[in-house]
Amino acid sequence: MDVPGHRFSAWDGTQDPLGPDVEELFGRLSEDVFHGWDFEAALRRLLEQGWRDGQGKRLVGMEEMLEQLRRRRQAQLERFNLDSVFEDMREKLDRVISQERRGIQARLDQAPDGGRRVLERVAAERRRQLDELPPDPGGAIRRLRDYEFMDSRAEAAYQRLLDEIRRNVLDSYFKQMTQSMQAMSGEDMAELREMARDLNRLLRQKLDGVPGPELQRGYEAFLQRWGRMFPDAPAGFEEFVEQLMRQMARMDSLLQSLSP
């Protein structure tokens, strides 16, 4: 595939700084003016929507550039979405538990008559422990650290899940977060700090007992300014606080599940 190149030369006063497509540009503007647009509106439309040069190359307008920026920002936010992380972890943990239950039953089916009674008591205790696992993945993983597996495949899958959490979830999550923060400009960091101050002010007002309607109005003003940073934010302030607390609890549970 041919790669388009560019040639550079010293300025000698003969070059056209606007390039050969300037006539096409003004032709496009003239056409819009002819169809009833005033010149300022036609120029604004051209800048917003873009145009194609004489070689058929499309030059994007401001609207498309802004949309690209919004998509990139959304992609960055989704990379740090803990909901998908916990959903995947929950599915893998369910498979570990299902395999252990099948392994327990297989051990019972294969047990000789002489040792079956003892094995049944052990199996009943293991099933009770599985039944009483906490509903959140982090708590269940932490509880299984002291569990004696009866099925070797389930135990191996559990160890792989622990390794994956350490290697692919936490390490990757914090590495990506660090890289994202390093890529931020000074203005981006200042904007992030300002958003955090506004959020802390809202949470402090809640703790101080500010009435719900007033908090809701403050929350709506917060979303008008910072909603792009919270694409999944609910409409109500109380639901938003619950969402934040749930995310914090999940991360804390995940960290605790890996503590020795």
What confidence category does residue 15 fall into, taking pLDDT thresholds of 50, 70 and 90? very low
The DSSP element (H or E) to which 52 belongs, if any, is strand 51-52
pLDDT of residue 201: 84
Coil vs helix vs strand at 59:
strand
Q: What distance in Å separates the CA atoms of residue 4 and residue 21, rounded to the nearest whole number? A: 17
String of DSSP letters for 179-202: HHHHH--HHHHHHHHHHHHHHHHH
Is the pLDDT at 165 greater than 90? The verdict is: no
Q: Token pair of 226, please?
A: 């910072």
Is residue 222 within 8 A of residue 199, CB to CB? The reply is: yes
Q: How far apart are CA 240 and CA 232, in angstroms?
A: 9
> Between 22 and 94, where is the model more confident?
94
Average pLDDT, the chain: 72
Q: 12-38 as b/e, with b when 16 or more CB fall inside 10 Å? A: eeeeeeeeebeeebeebbeebeeeebe
Q: Average pLDDT for residues 251-255, to the nearest whole number?
A: 62
Neighbours of 126 (CB within 10 A): 20
pLDDT at 1 > cutoff 70: no
- What integer pLDDT is reported at residue 197 of this predicted model? 84
pLDDT, position 104: 94
Question: Can you tell me which residue has the tokens 């200042």?
Answer: 190
- Give the lowest-confidence range in 11-15, 23-27, 83-87, 124-128: 11-15
Beta bridge partner(s), residue 58: 52
98-137 pLDDT, tens digit each = 999 999 999 998 888 777 889 999 999 999 999 999 888 8
The pLDDT-based confidence of 80 (bands split at 50, 70, 90) is: very low
Reply yes or no on whether the pLDDT at 20 is more than 50: no
Terminus-to-terminus CA distance in the chain, angstroms? 55
Neighbours of 120 (CB within 10 A): 13
Q: Is the pLDDT of residue 144 over 60?
A: yes
How wide is the angle at C-alpha 28 spanned by C-alphas 5 and 21, nearest 5°? Answer: 25
Residue with tokens 């990139």: 72
Q: Which of 34-38, 49-53, 75-79, 82-86 has the weakest average pLDDT?
A: 75-79
CA distance 22 to 40: 17
DSSP per-residue letters across 227-245? GGG-TT--SSHHHHHHHHH
Q: What pLDDT score does 135 carry? A: 86
Task: Kindly report whether the global pTM for this prediction surpasses the value 0.75.
Answer: no
Instruction: Specify the range with the lowest mean pLDDT, choosing from 21-30, 72-81, 115-124.
Output: 72-81
Q: What is the pLDDT of residue 2?
A: 45
* Sign, CA torsion 15/19/24/27: negative
174-215 per-position pLDDT tens digit:
555 555 555 666 777 777 788 888 888 888 887 777 888 888
